[in-house]
Structure 1
Amino acid sequence: MEDLRHGRATRERKFAVCTGGAHLQPADRAELLAVLAGDTDEMIATRAGEAILSAPLESFVEAIKRENALPALFAYASRHLADKPGISDALVENKNCPAELLVHVLRHLSDVATQTLVEDLDRVSASPALAAALEHSPSLTPEQKNQLRELHGPAHPIDEAALADAAAAAEPDAERRQTLIQRIAKMTVAQRVQYAIKGGSDARRTLIRDANKVVQRAVLQSPRLTDQEVEAFAAMSSLTDEVLRLIAGNRAFRKNYVVVRHLINNPKTPLDVTLHMLPMLNPQDLKRLTTNKNVPETLRTTAAKLQRTRAEQKK
């Protein structure tokens, strides 16, 4: 199988795949046919192309979605199958599909897949061509289009004083802090997004306070982000209300009770957000909230009412 996947199999075995005599699972055969369609042997390539025409489309969708899908499959599907139902969406769904291939399939995407892609800051920040092409999608909001322009538009001078303040809170070591500041100060928005997603905790703690909203959101998309970091962010009154709203709106983050408690007690968290999460507090934290002078009076009053309601229900 691996010999076939990487083009090292004999001619006879390649023909067997094309004719259906290799006894393969449909998704495996679909992937191999895409590989063989680019074979240096013209007859093999022709036979593979002909076999693809009669292969079940669902098998290609399944193959594309697999984590170990081959680049040759992505390339073939984006060039020759993008207009077929489910193919383009499957390419977006697989994070291993190169961004440059997605440029060719944008017009075939469902609205859901388009939204998924535009929110994938790792991909759109890494590919100016993809971001530029996405700008023309009719399913994007004006705010999303502005976000894409910000990513790869003209660089604006970074606020070095604000950067220094953020770095001071993120990195206690003076030498490492200076290195961090110098590195970030030279970056474009797209580079800061990439650093927010792939950098270390010091980068995330600094960039969560970046003046650019896209960079802030990228921090929260980082696969390296820890529960402890999110808990710390939720308690930071130096963050914008928009960042706190994003944290509150993330279902995975809300599963962490400490995050919920910190958000509710953070005076910068929007009132509508804290009121919505209020019933999630346990009795002890609810009681403390009623005397927390840092939060809005409306929140304290509502907390007191909830406390009384709970007490009456126990009677």
Structure 2
Amino acid sequence: MLMLNKTEMNPASFILNGIPGLEDIHLWISFPFCSMYVVAMVGNCGLLYLIHYEDSLHRPMYYFLAMLSLTDLVMCSSTIPKALCIFWFHLKEIGFDECLVQMFFIHTFTGMESGVLMLMALDRYVAICYPLRYSTILTNPVIAKAGFFTFLRGVLLIIPFTFLTKRLPYCRGNVIHHTYCDHMSVAKLSCGHIKVNAIYGLMVALLIGGCDILCITVSYTMILREVVSLSSPEARQKAFSTCIAHICAIVFSYSPAFFSFFSHRFGGHTIPPSCHIIVANIYLLLPPTMNPVVYGVKTKQIRDCVIRIFSGSKNTKPRGI
């Protein structure tokens, strides 16, 4: 009876243990984490500033890029500051409700990251396959609605995570061997039935990731067909060059996700837990760090705006989006 009463209580807080097995080098691990986080914050804030104030960037492609930058800022800020507190100050405690809030933001905005990448693939499809109708198809209201529904999809699919996790009885301690509150990392501390959590988590991953990857694949298949049909090599190269930055963003976003997904299911006993946790952090930190760098280097309009700002030339008036 005493055990039953204990299992019906939620813990007041959890202990985030960081990266198990690598506690002695947490300080050294923190330096690349901190450096990447600074680059992510500066780069994405810089992109948002450029897109807001430069008239030449007030186009659908850059509005979607602004959505991606906002998503990246929230995604990495929901985990890295807490991870750095663990590494630097050993502040490992996190309240139960605070843990659920962190879980909600992490999973919502990773889902939104995938959704925005899908919208950007559709943007490239329209730009290359229907260039004359580009501005009439992707109007500002259409872009705003697409962004809103992508966010709403993430919120509606992730909210059940918090309720499914909150309902569980916890009697296996309160130490989470991770740097943040991941859904299944928290659920595994429960002595209750977590099969529903596992099944629903897999369903959400398939609904969001599977559908988005399918749309991206179909979009680029159509783009390749259109590019190959162009008559001159110069036209083919120019058309496909507008997709390079987006393809890099897809690689940076999905590569760590695929590695984490397949290693958990097929290499769980051979890959050490510390590797899983490092990859899970890279999954949330690499896209926000690299996306502004790639778009800044590969996109001529953004590169020209940066050069103009640093050279002190002001050819455009500030104007809201």
TM-score, normalised to structure 2's length? 0.23
Structure with bigger gyration radius: 1
Q: Which has the higher contact order (CA 8 A, sep 6+)?
A: 2
The structure whose residues are more often helix, as a share, is: 2
